[in-house]
Structure 1
Amino acid sequence: MLYQIIALIIWGSSFIVAKSAFTMLSPAMLVQARLLIAALIMLPLALRYKSRIPKHAYKPLIILSLCHYVIILLLQFIGLQYTSAASAVTLIGLEPLIMVFVGHFLFHDPARWFHWLTGVFAFIGVAMLVMGGAESGGSASLFGSILILLSSFLFSLIWRPTRKLIDEIGVPAYTACSMVLGAILCLPFTLILADSFTIHWTWHGSLSILYMGIACSWLAYLLWNKGMSSVSANLSGLLTTLEPLFGVLLAVIFLGERLSLLSWSGAALIIFATIAAALIPRFLDKAA
């Protein structure tokens, strides 16, 4: 479980570190740099596994790599440019609930009553988070929040086909090849979306990019997968609800973000709703 908690802390810190990297280059350039670093690490494995991937799997692999490592990351980090790290990581914490409702409406996987109840509380929390604004050191932008929520919706949309492809070709092959493909597929988006190609070199910006490329894109996945061998899927799902808690605490400590009382109340409501959605079925199963 310790491996997975460390992975969640690393993922929760990505938006905080990105704020530092924005002083050096634009969000699109940051995503490209992060993917290039991860691709260089994964390239030897990708070359080893590419011949083992069936030809019919290449098309879904390319589409999923484009969605997962390019569009989702661009939506997240462009959105982050317009909102605080605390609000961004809180909205990312909604992914488990969004995944349930995507499954309900698009994949014939009905949501249960407590999903609807916690979903209402989470929606109210999002409204409070955006309406509350900031007192100092942070912000809660509607535009940025919409982009981040869109990234979570797309992640939930591709989760099932991604799992299907991983079951077919294996975790190592999918992880290595998709990261390399992601770095390549991101290039035209970077050329179009980058505000500027100028890089204002700073030591803290350079360290931030290396951290995101090595720790967030490679090490965290390695630790998470290592933890999966000894932690049940149910416990892993519950642990993911802790990511926004770690992210908010790091934003307060390292960025000095101070959202308004209404925004903090909304963030707390979102986190509460997500954790409740994970805990209620366990209590119901024990009661049965």
Structure 2
Amino acid sequence: MKNPNIKWIYLIILSIIWGSSFILIKKSLLGLTPYQLGALRTIITGIILLIAGFYSLKEIPKDKWKWLFISGLLGSFIPAFFFAIAETEIDSAVTSILNSLVPLNTILLGFAVFKISSTKRQVLGVIIGFIGTAILITKGSELNPNQNYYYAIFVIASTLMYATNVNIIKRYLQDVRPLAIATGNYVFILIPALIVLFFTDFFKTETFEHPEFINSIIFVIILSVFGTAMAKVIFNKLVQISTPVFASSVTYIMPVVALIWGILDGESFSLIQGLATLLILAGVYLSHRRIKR
């Protein structure tokens, strides 16, 4: 008999891992460019997954490979670069809070693309969530005038990609093992990441001589092993044993973890931004709260 609480255990573990990934990205950028970081993160994760899950690839039906390609592109490859680019201009805590839009976008895309019906409560939740987002970005730009909050677009675009990926996994990859999904994703994106890294001047002497280079590499390895490789498998499993919206609600706890890390690292965060964060989370809660029958 399956333990009904196992999905909550997965959710909490995933929230802590991913909530810590934003500060790891920030620290990695001290000695690397965002393109080097995105490429290295993808390469290291790909190597780990291919070692661990190579034999699981033979279990994947031929008709599933096209979905694995799309899933890898939208769920791993592009966001790895977009989040790194975003954090060159905006704080890690704010980035994590904007990432909370994933459940709202999951509902929007589920309705618009995957023909999944939505309730009035879900629509209200989406509206409240996006009002909170607007306040968060506006007040953030006032509090940190030296930061370019237009870079929030990279985070919002990533949340749309994540939301699409969640729906793809649930609809088209439900019968594929989580490890096989993650490994299959990186079969497609590992080579493009190597090409990107080659053109980022990573192999030049100046890169290795940077005083923060070693520390950045250590942070990238931690990010890749836990924040990407392990987390991808856990997330894929969570989607399969629950629902796309429940799996996306990992973003409830993530901002709390990321906010603690951000404050400890000296990031500024105003009361109004805190209220905006509560608005976003309230929108997420309303958007997927079960209706009592």
TM over 0.5: yes
1:35 aligns with 2:42: yes
Number of matched pairs: 280
Does 2:92 correspond to 1:85? yes
Q: For residue 94 of structure 1, report the CA deviation from its aligned partner.
A: 1.2
Larger mean Cα displacement after TM superposition, 95-104 or 138-147: 138-147
Relative to the length of structure 2, the TM-score reads 0.82
Q: Deviations over 1:239-264 (max 9, x none)?
A: 542222222222112x2211333333
Shift of 1:15: 1.0
Displacement after TM superposition at 1:179 (Å): 2.6
Shift of 1:211: 0.8
Q: Any residues of structure 2 matched to 1:41-60 within 5 Å, and which? A: 41-60=48-67
- Secondary structure, counterpart of 1:167 in structure 2: coil
Please say if residues 136 and 257 of structure 1, whose CA atoms lie closer than 8 Å, have aligned partners that are also in contact.
no
CA–CA separation in structure 1 for the residues paired with 2:279 and 2:170:
30
CA distance in 2 between counterparts of 1:222 and 1:156 reads 17
Other-structure match for 2:4: none
The match for 2:252 is: 241
Alignment partner of 1:101 is 2:108: yes
- Work out which of the residue numbers 245, 253, 272 in structure 2 matches 1:262: 272
Supply the RMSD in Å over aligned alpha carbons. Answer: 2.9
Aligned to 2:174: 167
Counterparts of 1:268-279 in structure 2 under 5 Å? 268-279=278-289
The Cα shift of 1:67 comes to: 2.3
2:174 partner letter: D
Aligned residue runs from structure 1 range 219-234, under 5 A: 219-223=230-234, 233=243
Gaps of 5+ in 1: none
Change (3 A) 1:275 1:251: farther
Conserved? CA contact 2:169–2:239, under 8 Å: no
Please tell me whether the aligned partners of residues 19 and 257 of structure 2 are also in contact (alpha carbons under 8 angstroms).
yes
Using the TM superposition, name which of 7-16 and 109-118 deviates more: 109-118
Provide, for residues 225-279 of structure 1, a one-character-per-residue CA deviation record: whole Å limited to 9, x for no partner: 67789x86586565542222222222112x2211333333322321222133333
Task: Please point out which of 202, 227, 233 is paired with 1:216.
Answer: 227
Partners in 1 of 2:285 and 2:24 — Cα distance?
A: 25
- How far the C-alpha of 1:223 sits from its partner, in A, is 4.9
CA contact (8 A) 1:32 1:186 kept: yes
Asked if the contact 1:89/1:244 (under 8 Å) is kept, the reply is yes
**SS at structure 1 position matched to 2:253:** helix
Partner SS state of residue 117, structure 2: coil
Which amino acid counterpart does residue 271 of structure 2 have in structure 1? L
The amino acid of 1:258's aligned partner reads S
In structure 2, the gaps of 5 or more residues are 1-7
Deviation at 1:196, TM superposition (A): 6.6
Q: Which residue is equivalent to 2:3?
A: none
1:204 aligns with 2:215: yes
Distance 1:107 1:60 in 2: 14
Q: SS of the counterpart of 2:256? A: helix
Measure, in 2, the Cα distance between the counterparts of 1:143 and 1:195: 27
- Over 3 Å counting, the alpha-carbon distance change for 1:2 and 1:50 in structure 2 is closer
When structure 1 is superposed on structure 2, of 2-11 and 138-147 the one drifting more is: 138-147
State the alpha-carbon separation in 1 of the partners of residues 251 and 142 from structure 2. 29
**Identity fraction in percent:** 23
Choose 109-118 or 138-147, whichever is displaced more.
Answer: 138-147
Pairwise CA distance, 1:183: 2.2
Q: Distance in 2 between matches of 1:130 and 1:240?
A: 18
- Aligned-partner Cα distance in 2 for 1:219–1:228: 15
In the TM superposition, residue 208 of structure 1 has moved relative to its aligned partner by 0.9
Give the 3-state SS of the residue equivalent to 2:116 in structure 1.
coil
Shift of 1:17: 1.0
The answer to whether residue 15 in structure 2 is matched with residue 8 in structure 1 is yes
2-structure distance, mates of 1:226, 1:56: 20
Contact 1:129/1:140 (8 A) holds in 2: no
User: CA distance change for structure 1 residues 232 and 39 in 2, over 3 Å: closer, same or farther?
Assistant: closer
- Partners of 1:205 and 1:12 in 2: CA distance: 18
Distance 1:123 1:135, change over 3 A: closer
Deviation per residue, 1:110-151 (Å, 9 max, x gap):
321112212222121111111112687897643221111011
Change (3 A) 1:238 1:152: closer
